[in-house]
Structure 1
Amino acid sequence: MEGLLIHAVVRELAGQLPLRSLGWAFPDEGTAALLLEGVGNLVLRYRPPNPILTVEPGRLGGEARTPFQRLLEARCKGRLVGLQQVKLDRVVLLEFEGEKGFVDVAPARLVFELTGRNANLMVCDLGGQILGIDRPVTPAINRFRELRPGLPYTPPPPYQKLDPRMLKPEALTPFVGQTFAQFLKHLDGVGKELGAELLRRAQLSPQTVLTAEHLPLIHRVIHSLVEQPQGRTPLSAALRANWEQEEAEALRKPLREALERQIKTLQARLQDYHRALERLEEATRLREWGDLLMAYGPQIPPGTVARLQDFSGQPVEIPLEKGLSPIQNARKFYERAKRLEANAEKALELFPQTEAQIGALEAELKRVEGLSRDELRAESRKLREKGPQTGLRFQSPGGFEVWVGRSSKENDLLTRMAHSEDLWFHAQGLPGSHVILRTQGQPAALPDLLYAAQLAAYHSRARGEKNVPVDYTAKKHVWRPRKAAPGQVLYTGGKTLFVDAEPPA
């Protein structure tokens, strides 16, 4: 990506700082997307050979997939307070404010080098020490510059070129007599694509030999290119398609696995039914043994084997259980035969039903494999809505969702599920529900706060009492101590509301 295009993105965002971060998404292993409130996704495509810095509308998705992405997500938090391009070089510095909470996250600087095949992304502290890097650079790779965690960040070596942002007309005079192509090599931030755009605007060819008459025109088109470059580098159609395919596969995978688990379970049942039918012959033999023992019982000597002749005159050896009489052994054989026959009868009844269920599941699996990304999103949403709901759900007067735990386990789960900027409520000093007001950092009006506080008071031991104190704080200030039972928490920065412990309107 060329320097002037990077400059256009940085210039657009720098005037809006500070910007609140709504979290990171990772569409693939080489892309990080920072969702900025009111702006969209600031996309950092940091794997060679074509790095990109651009702003995309909507909301991109994807969990952290690499150790570096997990570090980036953990260390680059809080508002984006700084965005700077080093000269017109392909290096951008993003500075994050950090976050206060039970475990504070210190301010951090993200260094993005968009240098073609050497593109890289690294997390540094404000002193410049590298905390994590996507692709470490060792002396074997670059003998002039080593980049790895623990070392101070060293920028790429500087070079002297004309800065088009501050270019004076007289600075062009030394290039009279050179071709336009030769002049472009001395212009910072302009690569192949912007060079072609500059030629188009000036209506000149690369071989045009510059004269003094060309200089005012060239100065004007360079100024226009700085103010309005061709446009920021777009995400390629192939990259978009790849992200959409990966998102579709991520949505399809749990649906596919759930269906495959059900099919596997039913196929195992079919195997059990086959075995039950095969054991019918064993049931017949057990009944014959029981009949022989009942017939010859008094004549059978003590031992572990009865050697008899069956009713057709053939010799038979029947194993006996030690300590039981022949009659008692016969009864056991009858019981086992009865169980085997019942299992076979049940298998015959369930066999066609189970085969039909497997057929339906296989058809559903085939349908899921053919669903588009949007259809998979709708399918996943339906499953979430049908699934069991954790806790009670309400809506505050201002439209915020409110969660109320009904047990210690639900209290623990809801508090862990909450956004770090959601508000957490609990009756002061009393056993009761954890209540979450789902603001996600948006300001909540007093009616919303009172609504959540009343729910916390009502779902506590103070139910029915008047003027109950309820503490509230941001969820990021709430933590569960080590070895504490579910639902037992500590918190800081709490404020108190006094409400009646009655259901809110």
Structure 2
Amino acid sequence: MALDGAFLKHISRELEQAALGARVEKIYQPNREEMVFLLRTRTEQFKLLISARANSARIHFTTSVPENPKQPPMLCMLLRKRLSGARLVQIRQPQLERLLCLDFDAINELGDMVRLTVVSEIMGRYSNIILVDENGKIVDALKRVDAEMTSERLVLPGMPYELPPAQGKLCLLETEPQQIMDALLAQPKDMELSKGLLSVLQGVSPIVCRELQHQAGRGDTVLIRQMTDAQKERLLFFITRLKEKITDAAGKPFLVLGFEKKPLDFSFLRPEQYGTSAVVREHETFSQLLEAFYEERDRVDRMRVREQDLLKHLTTLSDRLSRKINAQRAELAQCAERDQLRICGDLLNANLYQMEPGMSSIELENYYEESLPKLRIRLDPRLTPSQNAQKYYKEYRKARTAEEKLTEQIQQAQQELEYLDTVFEELSRAVTEQDLMEIRQELQEQGYVKSPRGKHKPAAATAPLEFTVSGDFRVLVGRNNKQNDKLTLKVANNNDLWFHTKEIPGSHTILVTDGREPTEAAILDAARLAAAHSRGKASSQVPVDYAQVRNVHKPAGAKPGMVIYEKYHTLYVTPDSEE
């Protein structure tokens, strides 16, 4: 976890410099594990977020506006009662523990000034928000911990507040660098240096320990037993620098971005361990850094949960359709023998005089073949000769009708499967919660997902993606099937050019001509955009068809996004997402 005690010390300094002396104006609890304190000074206003989420526990200033429930939770009402109008007078951090104590001077019910403390414990799944009174006793907590959950440390109203159990590590604020070196060298000799530092030092995260190893080993992996004298000297030097930086809270907020600029990690030191495999970006404040990092993390988590819900439903539907198509094809294969039924009926009808009641079979010459081979035909002894012939005719007509119906049903099921395939593709390209809402709404309208009960306002439609290509032409790209239809059939002009990957699920792409003749470079750029917003985005030589919009039509009753087109050309392009 990157939000370690050392990083928290920098946050503490930032909160002190900005909000010390501020009064509590409002308190919100937007969800079960987060609190927002609205603090106001004479000149400024701050929103202080305290989160006890297991995977994103933190404390920092935030700029986002919380969405509050209609009925505030019990802890929120308690904090409002006790802390409304209270003044923030001190922020404490015991050594480099991952917790901050926010001390407030408040007025109690008798009109006396009392000191109340809000403790923000940032310890992964054990994170908590605790209100402590002037006597050091717990008033209440976001997460109560009773004897059934643990016997080490109870967190219940009326009990004295105790710090989390000590881990027996060395605190950089109180320990000399040489003592840390001695403790480190006493660790198992085959241990990697970064892991040894993590087991010895209090309040530092893996990224800091890896950075110390990177600096000491100059980029190489270092084992404690293999450390050279030069590496020990460098390590001692960097531990000393680390101590000074933490003591003075002199670090700076650095965010590490990985592939596609996804947040990987953060630190108060500039990380050099990633080399060229990541981008390091400095933020103005530590609060801005944490908000950028965790907002993206939370958004991705929410997206993943909602995506999985839709993905599971779509997978079930696709599997069901595939099984249905396979069963119908097997049944259709049986209908292929229907002509043999007609032949049997004809032969029986032509040889009624040879048949006698009660026969179970008969051999007749098959005059449909030149060699006139004998054909054994099964009979129902309970039926007359004429009835046996009519029975074969009836089975023939039944098979012919079944073939027509099955062919039609298989075609419809295949179209449905192709449509669901396009929804899979647009789901893979969804980047916002709004995109997922529109996909869900599309599936509801098509009857694949149940609509919620009651009246619900439909989600506002988002605008298509817009790009500028060679020749200063605009290119519009649909985000989903409904938007594809609107873009192609309503927004685009008849003289604009329509692009789509050939037989590959993807977005409708429109090159807006505005009455001009599009250049070859603009057409090539638009084709690349169409390929980049399709399932072929990771392939090379992707076939892309393009035609004038006037030559693109939607068949009656077709699914969203399904069109037919004529008078088209095909380009083979290699998409470049960065370009």
TM-score normalised by structure 1 residue count: 0.44
Higher relative contact order (CA 8 A, sep 6+): 1
TM-score normalised by structure 2 residue count: 0.39
